[in-house]
Structure 1
Amino acid sequence: MNAKLKVMKQKYVIGIDISKSKLDCAVMDFEYKIQYEMIISNTEKGIGDFLKKIVKLLKTSNEELLICCENTGIYNRPLERICTKSEVLLWIEHPVKIKKAASDLRGKDDKKDARRIADYAVRYRDKSIAYEEPCEVIQKMNILTKSRNTLVVQKTALENQLREAKSHDRFEFTLLEESFSKALKVIKSSIKKIEDQLSVLIEKEQEIKQNKDLLTSIPGIGEQCAINFIISTNNFTSFDNAKHLACYAGVVPFKNQSGTIVKKERISKMANQKLKKLLHMSAMASIRSDKEIKAYFHRKVEQGKNKMSVLNAVRNKLVHRIIAVIKRKLPFLPKEEFLSIKNSNNICSLT
């Protein structure tokens, strides 16, 4: 989520429905009138030529255009690169928000989706968030981390199959071990190489290295969790406070009531699921290793609180600790140590 709120000075909105090979585009003015509709190739050249054509037809400039699209992962990359180079404001919105805001959901095709995206962008243009391209180092870290995750999943799948065969069928285990041993060696070697590449990248960037060291000073926060937080927050330039980051990571419960009907508070699924998963593992680790968190968890459970609710509160605490050490540029210290040297300027603690 590499974005900051920007003041709107645009005159036209381009709603784009993205697919693997093509983009359906709907150009709309602020009176909700469709000016042009086109289908272009999902390539940097195709998008660049389209923008030049639109600027010429509308007798406008790149600065007066607002492009809005849904987040489709890697298929967004050509559009992101061209908008960054051309200095065109790009707004990447969550698909669920656009769907829920649509006034007419009858029928569906790519052309209608492009119109709905354009309509959404015109209606909520004052809430637009401009996409900002991450720095090259963050992009490299992101690619390497994704590659590592893919290999870890493959490694886990092979090891699980071997373990089950070993405990239930020795004959199958013998055959699988012979087949999988070489593959596992290659995968483990590849994971090690990627981790070494990540370490070299981080060592070269002083600010990123400093932030990683600060995060790993928090009990329960491991290296992979720290790296993923740095990537997802563009090295902590995309979020102003802990509440926003906690919401993005999916650890904030929201009220669920209507009139006299009051239901249990639930966390939203509109979150970064990767960060949420890593925070869950970090919370489990902190309960085992951090005396403060362990005491807090058991105290709340003894009071009758639901274990998962308390665990989510621990995840939220970790997010607040993360923001605290980043803002203060000081490593984390437990409460007891903090109180014993509270007059020192070389500590940071958040309870």
Structure 2
Amino acid sequence: MKSYYLGCDVSKGYADFIILDQSKHIFVSSFQLDDTRTGHKQMETVIRGFFKKRSDCVLFCGVESTGGYENNWYALLRRLGMEFPLRVTRLNPKGVKHHGKSSLQRVETDKTSARTIADYLITHYDVVRYDEEDQFSLLRRHFKFIVLLKKQKAQLLNQLESLLYSANPELLQYCRRTVPQWLLRLLEECPTAADICQASEQSLSTIPYLSDYRAGELISQATNSVASTQSPAMGTIIKGAVRQIQTLTENIKVHVSLIMEQCQLPEIELLKTIPGISDYSAICLYLEIGDVNRFPSAKKLACFFGIHPAFKESGDGKYEIKMSKQGRVRPRVILFMSVFNAIQQDSHLAAVYASYLQRGIAKMSAIGIMMHKLARIVYGVLKNKEAYDPEIDRNNQTAIRKTQHSPDEHKKERRYQGFDPTAPISRRHMKKRKEQKRPKTDNSSVHNGITSALLNDIDDDIDLSRITVTQIMNGEGQ
């Protein structure tokens, strides 16, 4: 059965298509259709005409992810796949882009991008997954909307702090951690220091959680305020910002409750057994992970989140190890905040974190390692469908210590030839060879920020939380 490959480069309102054969030759030259009913009907006509002449073939279709613009075309091709031998996949644009660069593509247009997508399907057929059901796509969009609302609220809170610094800076002492509700209610009635001076203690004390004593303090502070702006216009701006913050707060509560009602799943209940992971965090992690079986190992899940250690070694050059951050952003944010709660709630994780600090690892580096460990725990809980148990992690660490060995990496690399002293190498590399020949001691495992133990752990998928490298995350745990 012959195979043909359709590349679809999606733009806002239209898309470019091209069909290649197995030899990467153009079978159907590029054409462009609008993302309208007429365009979709024409696409159906093209597909029907294609299979009418070729009934013994399969058409593989690739649609590049473009932030949602590809959804209509993807849904259309999925519907056609129920009628014809057509398979469709959604591609990561980063992989397609690097594939185009590796082909020395000099000109980039919509036509060439469509051909690059089809070429990518042919070249990387072994890693492309077709016809995957994404049952959480709508929930992810809902969760993304909640994240957007929280960002808008944070921006308004920052703007409110800037306004208060000019209108009533004495109130900022109550906003060190968060802005309390009583302060927002106060700013609705008395946005500037001059307004507070004109108010009475009785009127201010009617605000919930604002006592008579604090009301007197606020009036006294406003009387001696160093505020530079007391104009009514400033008060109007502050009131508008406060109303927007309160509206966003209510909207966030409503949408969070809605998404929690839709996510009453046993997997989320399992994730909530992990210390530091709340309802909101469990929903975010599970929506990003989906079916955990699509990840062969915990290392693959860590790479998906972008929390795996990245390093580079080429010739004489060596670069420090740091967190990759080449992956999903929201799960990293969730894991970062969850680690702080986990080390306070769970004695086992707190002891693991303290052991890294005792080895001399920086705090942020240790947080990054704990993020990796928490991701592995998440993988184990979902894979085995068992609640979190610290004893399981302790037993795993004990088993790793018994089976872990530390062979000299240079012996593997130089098994066909030993070091030749007459080789024309640089002084830096000569120094490295001399250090490798020396017998290793307990304190000689670190060499320019990279250890053989780290390389062995990365290759063999061994517990990375046991790596004793002080610069493993380069202070980039956030």
TM surpasses 0.5: yes
CA distance in 1 between partners of 2:273 and 2:38 (Å):
46
In structure 2, the residue matched to 1:121 is 121
Q: How far did residue 162 of structure 1 move?
A: 1.5
**Deviation digits for residues 51-99 of structure 1, max 9, x if unmatched?**
4413413623697111123221211211221233222322222222222
Q: For residue 58 of structure 2, what is the amino acid of its counterpart?
A: E
In structure 1, the residue matched to 2:158 is 160
Whose RCO is larger (CA < 8 A, sep 6+)?
1
Q: How far did residue 29 of structure 1 move?
A: 0.4
Given the alignment of the two structures, is residue 134 of structure 1 paired with residue 134 of structure 2, yes or no? Answer: yes
Q: For residue 56 of structure 1, what is the amino acid of its counterpart?
A: G
Q: Residues 12 and 27 of structure 1 are in contact (CA less than 8 Å); yes or no, is this contact kept in structure 2? A: yes
Task: Find the partner of 2:252 among 191, 206, 214.
Answer: 191
Q: Residues 3 and 57 of structure 2 are in contact (CA less than 8 Å); yes or no, is this contact kept in structure 1? A: no
In structure 2, the residue matched to 1:4 is none
Q: Residues 10 and 66 of structure 1 are in contact (CA less than 8 Å); yes or no, is this contact kept in structure 2? A: no
Q: For residue 225 of structure 1, what is the amino acid of its counterpart?
A: S
TM-score (norm 2): 0.62
| CA spacing shift, 1:183–1:106, aligned 2, 3 Å | same
CA distance in 1 between partners of 2:48 and 2:41 (Å):
11
Q: How far did residue 44 of structure 1 move?
A: 6.7
**Deviation digits for residues 224-282 of structure 1, max 9, x if unmatched?**
22111221222535334322111101111134111332222344343111212222222
Q: For residue 128 of structure 1, what is the amino acid of its counterpart?
A: V
CA distance in 2 between partners of 1:45 and 1:259 (Å):
57
Counterpart secondary structure, 1:231: helix
Given the alignment of the two structures, is residue 244 of structure 1 paired with residue 300 of structure 2, yes or no? Answer: yes
Q: How far did residue 311 of structure 1 move?
A: 1.9
CA distance in 2 between partners of 1:162 and 1:72 (Å):
35
**Deviation digits for residues 157-205 of structure 1, max 9, x if unmatched?**
11222223224432466433311232222222211211221222123xx
Q: For residue 160 of structure 1, what is the amino acid of its counterpart?
A: N
Counterpart secondary structure, 1:67: strand
Counterpart secondary structure, 2:88: strand
Number of aligned residue pairs: 326
Counterpart secondary structure, 1:294: helix
| Structure 1 runs not aligned, ≥5 long | 1-8, 340-349
Given the alignment of the two structures, is residue 22 of structure 1 paired with residue 22 of structure 2, yes or no? Answer: no
Counterpart secondary structure, 1:73: coil
In structure 1, the residue matched to 2:62 is 68
CA distance in 2 between partners of 1:63 and 1:265 (Å):
48
Q: For residue 144 of structure 2, what is the amino acid of its counterpart?
A: K
CA distance in 1 between partners of 2:54 and 2:277 (Å):
50
Counterpart secondary structure, 2:27: strand
Structure having the higher Rg: 2
| CA spacing shift, 1:21–1:336, aligned 2, 3 Å | closer
In structure 2, the residue matched to 1:56 is 49
Q: Residues 4 and 57 of structure 2 are in contact (CA less than 8 Å); yes or no, is this contact kept in structure 1? A: no
Q: Residues 339 and 370 of structure 2 are in contact (CA less than 8 Å); yes or no, is this contact kept in structure 1? A: yes
Given the alignment of the two structures, is residue 176 of structure 1 paired with residue 170 of structure 2, yes or no? Answer: no
In structure 2, the residue matched to 1:344 is none
Q: Between the two proteins, what is the percent identity of the paired residues?
A: 24
Q: For residue 247 of structure 2, what is the amino acid of its counterpart?
A: V
Q: Residues 43 and 78 of structure 1 are in contact (CA less than 8 Å); yes or no, is this contact kept in structure 2? A: no
Task: Find the partner of 1:289 among 341, 345, 350.
Answer: 345
CA distance in 2 between partners of 1:338 and 1:307 (Å):
22
- Structural mapping, 1:162-311, within 5 Å: 162-170=160-168, 171=192, 174-203=235-264, 208=265, 210-311=266-367
Counterpart secondary structure, 1:129: coil
Counterpart secondary structure, 1:128: coil
Counterpart secondary structure, 1:126: coil
Q: For residue 98 of structure 2, what is the amino acid of its counterpart?
A: K
| CA spacing shift, 1:66–1:10, aligned 2, 3 Å | farther
Q: For residue 184 of structure 1, what is the amino acid of its counterpart?
A: I
In structure 2, the residue matched to 1:108 is 108
CA distance in 1 between partners of 2:166 and 2:354 (Å):
38
**Deviation digits for residues 15-56 of structure 1, max 9, x if unmatched?**
111111111111100111112211012347634632441341
CA distance in 1 between partners of 2:308 and 2:57 (Å):
36
Q: How far did residue 133 of structure 1 move?
A: 2.7
CA distance in 1 between partners of 2:393 and 2:146 (Å):
37
Q: Residues 163 and 238 of structure 2 are in contact (CA less than 8 Å); yes or no, is this contact kept in structure 1? A: no
Task: Find the partner of 1:83 among 70, 77, 80.
Answer: 77
Q: Residues 44 and 81 of structure 1 are in contact (CA less than 8 Å); yes or no, is this contact kept in structure 2? A: no
CA distance in 2 between partners of 1:61 and 1:166 (Å):
71
Q: Which structure: greater strand fraction? A: 1
CA distance in 2 between partners of 1:312 and 1:90 (Å):
37
In structure 2, the residue matched to 1:147 is 145
In structure 2, the residue matched to 1:6 is none
CA distance in 2 between partners of 1:139 and 1:98 (Å):
22
Counterpart secondary structure, 1:107: coil
Q: Residues 55 and 62 of structure 1 are in contact (CA less than 8 Å); yes or no, is this contact kept in structure 2? A: no
Q: Residues 101 and 120 of structure 1 are in contact (CA less than 8 Å); yes or no, is this contact kept in structure 2? A: yes
**Deviation digits for residues 107-139 of structure 1, max 9, x if unmatched?**
22111111122222211223211242322xx34
CA RMSD of the aligned region, Å?
2.7
CA distance in 1 between partners of 2:56 and 2:267 (Å):
36
